[in-house]
Structures are given as C-alpha cells and as structure tokens.
Structure 1
C-alpha cells in the first residue's frame, strides 16, 4: 500500500502531534513496542436506543422487585 501523505511531524511543548488535514475528529491509537503507531478513525454516534434484551432484563428486575423476590440488604456501614 502506498502512502497518501508523507511529512515529518514533531511534538509540541505539551507532547502533542498535529495531523495535517485530518479527516476525522477522533482516532483510536495503538502504539507498539517497535515504535509503530496506528491511528484508526472513530466516529462517535448517539446510540439508537436500548436493546430489546436490556429492556426485557429491566422489566424482569422490576417485576421481581414488586413481587418481593429480592436479595437481602447489603450492610454498607463499614464504608
């Protein structure tokens, strides 16, 4: 694979590197012992909603609570 850009970057006083013309705002960084650094673009998105399985688990927990099917109280007085 051929490089799309080739330039020298340097650390600033706060030990940061600036990416020129970066296409994304967020990157996942992987740094290896041999000195290689891999940047993978990330896009932060709002989740679509709560999954059906999670909603089912919540319904079951509330149902158990209403029936009185709960675990014994935890003593937090030591904390």
Structure 2
C-alpha cells in the first residue's frame, strides 16, 4: 500500500543548523536518519503513552479510600449543562 503525500515542500537548514517543519502538528519528534539518506520523523509525547505516574496512582488510591469512608463532597448539579 502506497502512502499519500499530504505536504510537499523544499526545506533548508538555517544558520544554527536547524530545520523548520511547516504546520507541524506535534511539538516533539523522534528522528531516524538512514544510510540511504532517508529521514523518518515520528511524533512523540513527553510521557510514555498508557503509563500512569506513581503520584497519580497514589492520588487515585486516596480518592477511592475517601469515597469508601464517605469523605465526599455534596453532589454537583449538572442539569443546566
């Protein structure tokens, strides 16, 4: 299956050896440069996908513990939304 080209333009390095990606959809990219001259850019996130930090897990555990102990706020009325 052939990939469809969505954007095609000439790019060049600036004085500080940087390359600008026009209309980039992501802030970070993994760059792979191959022996044949091809360069592959893959979008990246600063955190690993599907990984929850220890701090977040602790907060979730505390929230559930409070819920089971009845330590909760009054119900929120969302009927106007």
Q: Indicate the TM-score class for this superposition, using the shorter chain for normalisation.
A: 0.5 to 0.7
Offset of residue 2 of structure 1: 1.4
Q: Which structure has the larger Rg over C-alpha atoms?
A: 1
Q: TM-score, normalised by structure 1?
A: 0.58
Q: CA RMSD in A?
A: 1.6
TM-aligned CA deviation for residue 43 of structure 1: 1.1
Q: 1:49 aligns with which of 47, 53, 56?
A: 53
> Structure 1: which 4+ aligned runs deviate by more than 6 Å?
none
Give unmatched runs, 5+ long, in structure 1. 51-79
Aligned to 2:25: 23
> How far does the alpha carbon of each residue in 1:18-39 deviate from its partner, in whole angstroms, 9 at most, with x for none?
0000000000000001100000
Return the offset for 1:45.
2.6
